Copies of this chain bind each other. A is one copy, B any other.
Amino acid sequence: MLEDKNQERTSLSSLGEFQLIEHLTKDIEAKQPTTLKGIGDDGAVLNFKDKRTVVSTDMLVEGVHFDLAYMPLKHLGYKAVVVNLSDICAMNAKPTQITVSIAVSNRFPLEALEELYSGIRYAARIYDVDIVGGDTTSSQKGMILSITAIGESEEDDITYRVGANPTDLLVMSGDVGAAYMGLQVLEREKQVFEVNPNNQPDLEAYDYLIERQLKPEARKDVKDLLKALEIKPTAMIDISDGLSSEILHICKQSNVGCNLYENKIPLDPQLISVCEEFNLDSTTVALNGGEDYELLFTITMEDFEKIKANPNFSIIGHMTQESEGVHLITRDDTKIPLKARGWDAVDEA
C-alpha cells in the first residue's frame, strides 16, 4: 500500500517536528472528566480525586510485533491502543487516557502517519479514552510505537495477579487461539502474494480469525459485566501471551496450582476447522497462541451460580494447592503439566 505511486505522498522531512506533531494532533479533544489538560503543554494534567490511577505501557516494533505487509496502518494504530487498554482492563480498571509515541523512518510519508493516527484516534473514540500526550520522531529503520495507558478504579475493585485461592474457579471471557490462527492465515497469504502478486485471496472462510488478529478488542465490558453479577474476581490477567503462560503467571504470583480442563477451553468453530486445514492441534494453539486479549480471572466457588450460565464467560478450570502443580486435564483424562511457553504433548506425555 505504501508503494502505491498514485497516492499523494508528503515527505516527513518537509515538516518540522513541531509542525508534524501539531498536524497529527490538532483537533484532538479531551473528553474525559479526569482530563484537566491534554495535549499542548509539557505534560498533561489529570484529576482522579479519590480513585486510584492505573498505568501500563507497551512498545510495538515493526518486524517484531507487526508486519506492515498485511497489517494496514489504520489497523496497527487501533491494535496498538487496544493492547494497552487491555492491560488496564486486566486490573479491573477503566481506561481513561493514553499517550502515544511514534518513531518512523523517512520511508513513511505523512499520509502513512495520518493513516496510523486515524486508527489510534478511532480506538480512542470507541474506547472513550483521551489522547493526552505523545512524541513523534524519526527512526533509523522501521516504525516503533510506544503507548502508555492510564485508567481509574475504586481501590476495592482493583484486581491483581496475586489473590487467587486454592479453591477458586478459573474463568475467561470470549474464546482463545483465533488471533494466532489469523496470523497463520495472513502469513500464508503473504507468501502466496509474493509468488503471484495478482492473486486475489478469498479470505471469507477466515474472517473471524483475521479480524481477531488485525482488529482485536480489549474487554472493557468485563468490569461492568462482573459488577452487574456482583462478582469481585480474586485475580485477573489479560491473555496476551497465550492461555498457558497467563495461567502460570497467576499461579506463580498467587502461590496456587491449577487444573485446566481441555474440554472447557472455549474455541470458535472457525478456529477448529482452520486448525484442521493447517494440521495443527487446536488445544496447542489455544494454549500458546496469544494476542487474544480476553480476560482470565479467578472467582470464589460461592460465585459459581452467578456466572455458570453467563454466555460471556467460560469456567475452564479450578485452582488447587500450589504443591499440586499446574496441569492440563485432557479429554481422555490425562494430566499434563503446563509449561510457560506452552505445552508439548510429545515431550510431556
Q: Which residues from chain A sit less than 8 Å from chain B, CB to CB?
A: 16, 18, 36-37, 40-50, 52-59, 61-65, 87-88, 90-91, 93, 97, 99, 101-103, 132-135, 137-142, 144, 146, 148-151, 155, 158, 160-162, 236-238, 253, 340-341
Pair A50/B49 contact, Cβ less than 8 Å? yes
CB-contact partner of A47 in B46, B52, B58, B162, under 8 A? B52
A64-B138, A134-B57 in contact; A151/B46 too (CB < 8 A)? no
Pair B103/A57 contact, Cβ less than 8 Å? no
- Chain B residues near A47: list those with CB within 8 A: 52-53, 155
Copies of this chain, count? 2
Pair B45/A138 contact, Cβ less than 8 Å? no
Pair A46/B52 contact, Cβ less than 8 Å? yes
- Chain B residues near A63: list those with CB within 8 A: 140
Pair A45/B54 contact, Cβ less than 8 Å? yes
A45-B54, A133-B56, A139-B61 in contact; A253/B144 too (CB < 8 A)? no
User: Could you jot down 5 A-B contacts, CB within 8 Å?
Assistant: A44-B54, A46-B55, A57-B146, A59-B102, A64-B103
Pair B40/A45 contact, Cβ less than 8 Å? no
- Chain B residues near A253: list those with CB within 8 A: 40-41
Minimum Cβ distance to chain B for residue A79 (Å): 15
- Chain B residues near A341: list those with CB within 8 A: 16
- Chain B residues near A49: list those with CB within 8 A: 50
A160-B41, A253-B40 in contact; A146/B59 too (CB < 8 A)? yes
- Chain B residues near A36: list those with CB within 8 A: 52, 155
Interface centre among A41, A42, A58, A149 (most CB of B within 10 A): A42
CB-contact partner of A135 in B57, B132, B236, under 8 A? B57
Known: A37-B160, A46-B55; 12 extra A-B contacts, CB below 8 A, are A42-B237, A43-B55, A44-B56, A45-B53, A45-B54, A46-B52, A46-B54, A57-B99, A57-B146, A59-B144, A139-B142, A148-B148
- Chain B residues near A140: list those with CB within 8 A: 61-64, 141-142
Minimum Cβ distance to chain B for residue A58 (Å): 5
- Chain B residues near A64: list those with CB within 8 A: 103, 137-140
Pair A18/B55 contact, Cβ less than 8 Å? no
